[in-house]
Amino acid sequence: MRREQVNRTHRARARKRGAPGAFTDVDVNARLIRQGGKCHYCRAPFRLDTRFQIDHFIPIAKGGSNHACNIVLACPDCNQRKGDKLPHEFMPERFQTGCLRDC
């Protein structure tokens, strides 16, 4: 799926759940640079043959927004394992209850 289709899918899901906000490809590229080309959770570098996935740090299902400030890039394995868990539920050793995205 192309990135614009992915963004559209995120917007539709967010709209259905009443979550505010939207992000753009520019936001995703800025996030990729900020994360140094690595998964936000396991810190494994993204390879050219491994696509990253856009994850809502605070899941929309748990009240998170679709704003750019709530997205991170994750490897497919981490994104799938995290599901709709909060960061401290997914990786308690790395994230504390109530932590911000870049802690």
pLDDT at 17 over 70: no
**R_g of the chain computed on alpha carbons:** 13
In tens, the pLDDT along 48-102 reads: 776 899 999 999 999 999 999 999 999 999 999 999 999 999 999 888 877 766 6
Instruction: Characterize 64-88 residue by residue with b for buried, 16 or more Cβ atoms within 10 angstroms of its Cβ, and e for exposed.
Output: bbbeeebbbbbbeebbeebeeebbe
Domains of the chain: 3-90 (1.10.30)
